[in-house]
Amino acid sequence: MEKSKKQRAISGIRPTGKLHLGHLIGVLDNWREMQENFKCFFFVADWHALTTEYDDPSKIKVYSKEMVLDWLAAGIDPEKGIIFLQSDIKEHAELYLMLSMIVPIPWLERVPSYKEIKEELTNKDLSTYGFLGYPVLQASDILIYKADVVPVGIDQVPHVELTREIARRFNNLYGTETFVEPQAKLTVTPKLLGLDGRKMGKSYNNCIYLSDPREVVSEKVMHMMTDPLRVKRSDCGDPEVSIVFGYHKIFSPHEKVKEIGEKCRTAQIGCVECKKELIKNLWGYLEQFQFRRSDISKKWKDVDDIFFEGGKKAREFSSKTIKEIKEAMKII
């Protein structure tokens, strides 16, 4: 396929903490595949981080840089996709401002994550203008590159849907076809659950971090939930309800998964033995990642270089779109 005919894809992660296994398996593996066939824009959503971390933003910078090293170790390649820092591209903010003029407040109030996150993060005051506007900023990220697809998890689908509505509203209002309506592309990888069976997430305290050393990984696996109905070693288990078995499916060889499943059902293997096998395989995988991570951090002493180069490329697109927007609105 010719380079310019490639579909465009955009996705970002908020730098609010260290990345965990759910990011690697759910998000970054997907990005790595997409960078082969799409024109990809991968960015660090540091302004989005501010919507919830405004009371202590000092760590955002460090997390941003650390996160990009994780991306590189996961095989995201700055030669293939454009890696950049959201706040380096002022056009996101400019479009955000313009879109804020045309987005009705009720559209924002009914976005499910608005209520959910407010209820979840009770220790933060999220009754701010910026937090309500979160999806408008996200729409700007997407629309400014006229992205065709947005690879995201299921929780982000309403944001992409809203982005489509905003694009339509803009195009109708100004009688143009400036914006492309993007599609969400759901991650196909089976979702990796947290240690307790909920979605893996920092605020649930149920993560295996990409930087966890072997002892920590082992301890976490040892505390993972198995089949709660299998009380005694001699009881037969149901591997399908065990979190540990879900991990085996991702990190253990196919044959081993089959064997463990059968042995669990017939009480030939106990949970401790099963977990030890997982620790071996999971650690093998993570250790490789950590080797690559440490090599890469030696090579890229300064992630700012990556942001600088990626920023230049991103700006080529974003500045063009801003010009088109102003033309459509006849304010140029």
Give the nearest distance from C-beta 48 to ligand TRP in angstroms. Answer: 5
If one asks whether residue 246 binds ligand TRP (CB under 6 A), the answer comes out as no
List all residues 6 or more positions away from 84 whose beta carbon is below 8 Å from its beta carbon. Answer: 41, 42, 43, 44, 307, 310, 311, 313, 314
Neighbours of 140 (CB within 10 A): 28
State which of positions 156-195 bind ligand TRP (CB under 6 A): 156
If one asks whether residue 138 binds ligand TRP (CB under 6 A), the answer comes out as yes
157/241 with CB nearer ligand TRP? 157
Give the nearest distance from C-beta 50 to ligand TRP in angstroms. Answer: 12
List all residues 6 or more positions away from 238 whose beta carbon is below 8 Å from its beta carbon. Answer: 227, 229, 230, 264, 265
State which of positions 14-43 bind ligand TRP (CB under 6 A): 14
Is residue 313 classed as helix, strand or coil in its secondary structure? helix
Distance CA 47, CA 50 (A): 5
Give the nearest distance from C-beta 331 to ligand TRP in angstroms. Answer: 25
Out of 8, 12, 95, 328, which residue is the one contacting ligand TRP (CB under 6 A)? 12
Size of the site for ligand TRP (CB under 6 A): 12
Give the nearest distance from C-beta 189 to ligand TRP in angstroms. Answer: 16
Mark the segment that binds ligand TRP (CB under 6 A) among 8-16, 96-104, 241-249, 299-307: 8-16
If one asks whether residue 297 binds ligand TRP (CB under 6 A), the answer comes out as no
If one asks whether residue 89 binds ligand TRP (CB under 6 A), the answer comes out as no
State which of positions 46-65 bind ligand TRP (CB under 6 A): 48
Alpha-carbon distances, residue 85 vs 15, 304, 314, 327 (angstroms) = 10, 9, 10, 27
* C-alpha closest to that of 139 among 164, 116, 117, 156: 164
Contact 110, 41 (CB under 8 A): no
Give the nearest distance from C-beta 11 to ligand TRP in angstroms. Answer: 4
Token duo for residue 174: 């100004």
Contact 213, 283 (CB under 8 A): no
Q: Which chain residues interact with ligand TRP by CB under 6 A?
A: 10-12, 14, 45, 48, 138, 141-142, 150, 152, 156
